[in-house]
Amino acid sequence: MKLSSLLVLAISVATVAQSSAREPKEYDRDVNYEEERLPAYDLPKLLVTPEGKKIKTAEDWHNIRRPQILALFSNLIYGRVPEPVSPIKQTFEVVKTDPNFMGGKATRKDVKIKLGNDRGEMEMHFLVYVPNKATKPAPTFFKHSFNNTKSKDFDASPNDPNRLRNGWPLGDFFDRGYGFCAVYHEDLVGHNEVSFLDSIHKLFYPEGQSFPKASEWGVLSTCAWGAMRGMDYLETDDDIDHTRVAIMGHSKMGKATLWTAAQDERFALAISAQSGCAGAALWRRKSGENLKKMVTRFPYWLCRNAWKFVEQEDDLPVDQHMLLACIAPRPVYVHSGVDDTWADARGEYLSAYHASEVYRLLGKKGLETEESPEVGKAIIQSDVGYHNREGCHSIDAFDWARFLDFADYHFKK
Ligand code: GCU
């Protein structure tokens, strides 16, 4: 066989191998996945203000640049939380306690969080598991959850003494001395809300308003606000060390996780699992899911101001590395999957890499090289952690174990 035919054969084998990895879905036939076809872009500068002032000290970062960046994310990407029409009263009630959860490894508390004012009332169900054998108050993981915390998913599995029915290996968390809590993403707002008056928003709207203004909170911002109410409860629970809470979430919930941690410094550590577009991935790369896809498929996850930047990402005064930077100096961990191309593993890494500039300014350790680490290698001993592993869009045993390692490294040193 001639060299040229061999080459053609090799290329077609490679193409088949690539396309068999993941069949394109209806929604992603027209997006770019090829590194060679990425647009050239310049990221907005983290350490220079729009007025041209260079940020050289931790003080200027905290007092000037971080608030500027948070305001931009609030007004242009996720949407700010408006003032409620009248003060919201919040109450906590532990409605059920099971001291023998998972064969006695933990105590499970079902907490009802009520939020109300003269416009109405909403309820959140917050689950808290406290490790029985650990020293208290215990550090805890806090999950933004897709699974309904009132469902059987959160019972111990009848088949595996270490897991919940939904597969999460909570026994490992209890064995390592961690608690675990979870809020359900649909308690306060729908998945892709169109009737915001059925959501927590009704407590915030003056007479006549039924929909968020262009700069006001979308679904992700609402989820973030809900997690903060969970944290309000933890501050009252003596079994949990509320100064060592690692917030985490996967995918849409990874996006909500980063926005929660960026704003609320009570969360001591953040873990983004395959958060992708509007999470850890850079907007400007437009690789995999992009802003247009996001706002056409899920118009209300972000605020409506974000729509204005569809196909105009270069005009955004922020990119997602700036969101990660707002978490500094608190540790942040980003997890990607090789076949999770929709979430742009490379864009997630680069975001964490560029955010590291702020970690270094604050005397912390960031990612040192622009090159992504080899697949399966986890960067744990750093304030910006990362791994990319084989496989798709999920949290696997390998991922859970690395999240625990990262928390151990920071919370137990
Ligand atoms: C969709 C969406 C992603 C999101 C994912 C999920 O795929 O496009 O942005 O992360 O759902 O939440 O699982």
Per-residue pLDDT of 15-42, as tens digits, reads 333 334 567 788 888 999 999 999 999 9
Claim: this prediction has a pTM higher than 0.85:
yes
Q: What is the mean pLDDT of residues 289-316?
A: 98
Measured from the CB, is residue 251 less than 6 Å from ligand 1?
A: yes
Q: Alpha-carbon distance 34 to 41, whole Å?
A: 15
Measured from the CB, is residue 276 less than 6 Å from ligand 1?
A: yes
| Chain centroid, CA 85 distance in Å | 29
Which atom of ligand 1 sits closest to the CA of residue 393?
A: 13
Which atom of ligand 1 sits closest to the CA of residue 294?
A: 8
| Residue spans per domain, the chain | 1-78+268-386, 82-238+250-265
195 catalytic? Reply is: no
Q: What pLDDT is recorded for position 63?
A: 98
Q: What pLDDT is recorded for position 354?
A: 98
Residue 110, pLDDT above cutoff 90: yes
Worst-scoring range by mean pLDDT, 9-18, 40-49, 355-364? 9-18
Determine contact, residues 69/78, Cβ cutoff 8 Å.
no
Which atom of ligand 1 sits closest to the CA of residue 278?
A: 9
Measured from the CB, is residue 335 less than 6 Å from ligand 1?
A: no
Residue 3, pLDDT above cutoff 60: no
Which atom of ligand 1 sits closest to the CA of residue 255?
A: 10
Measured from the CB, is residue 273 less than 6 Å from ligand 1?
A: no
- Nearest alpha-carbon partner for 409 in 328, 333, 305: 333
Question: What is the Å distance from ligand 1's center to 350 Cα?
Answer: 20
User: Bridge partners of 89?
Assistant: 116
Question: What is the Å distance from ligand 1's center to 90 Cα?
Answer: 31
Q: Which residues, 6 or more positions from 153, have their beta carbon under 8 angstroms from its beta carbon? A: 147, 164, 165, 166
Q: Out of 145, 221, 251, 275, which one is annotated catalytic?
A: 251
pLDDT in tens, 198-241: 999 999 999 999 999 999 999 999 999 999 999 999 999 999 99
251 catalytic? Reply is: yes
Measured from the CB, is residue 289 less than 6 Å from ligand 1?
A: yes
Determine contact, residues 242/231, Cβ cutoff 8 Å.
yes
Measured from the CB, is residue 302 less than 6 Å from ligand 1?
A: no
Q: What pLDDT is recorded for position 84?
A: 97
**Sheet-wide strand order for 138-145:** 89-100, 106-117, 120-131, 179-184, 138-145, 240-250, 269-273, 332-337, 384-389
Q: What pLDDT is recorded for position 21?
A: 55
Q: What pLDDT is recorded for position 17?
A: 37
Q: What pLDDT is recorded for position 19?
A: 37
Q: What is the mean pLDDT of residues 159-176?
A: 97
Specify burial of residue 155 (Cβ count, 10 A radius: 0-12, 13-18, 19+): middle
Q: What is the mean pLDDT of residues 254-274?
A: 99
Structure tokens given for 375 = 């697949």
Q: What is the mean pLDDT of residues 388-400?
A: 97
Question: What is the Å distance from ligand 1's center to 255 Cα?
Answer: 9
Measured from the CB, is residue 250 less than 6 Å from ligand 1?
A: no
Q: Which residues, 6 or more positions from 228, have their beta carbon under 8 angstroms from its beta carbon? A: 260, 263, 264, 266
Instruction: Give percent of the chain above pLDDT 70.
Output: 95
**In 99-128, which positions are buried (b, 16+ CB within 10 angstroms) versus exposed (e)?**
eebbeebbbbbbbebebeeebeebebbbbb
Q: What pLDDT is recorded for position 413?
A: 82
Q: Classify 180 as helix, strand or coil.
A: strand
Q: Are strands 106-117 and 138-145 parallel, antiparallel or unpaired?
A: unpaired
Q: What is the mean pLDDT of residues 54-65?
A: 98
Q: Name which residue sits closest to atom 13 of ligand 1, judged by CA.
A: 251
Worst-scoring range by mean pLDDT, 12-16, 66-70, 321-325, 344-348? 12-16
Question: What is the Å distance from ligand 1's center to 100 Cα?
Answer: 36
Residue ranges in 116-175 assigned as alpha helix (H): 170-175
Q: What pLDDT is recorded for position 22?
A: 64
Residue 4, pLDDT above cutoff 90: no
Measured from the CB, is residue 281 less than 6 Å from ligand 1?
A: no
How does the average pLDDT of the chain come out, rounded? 94
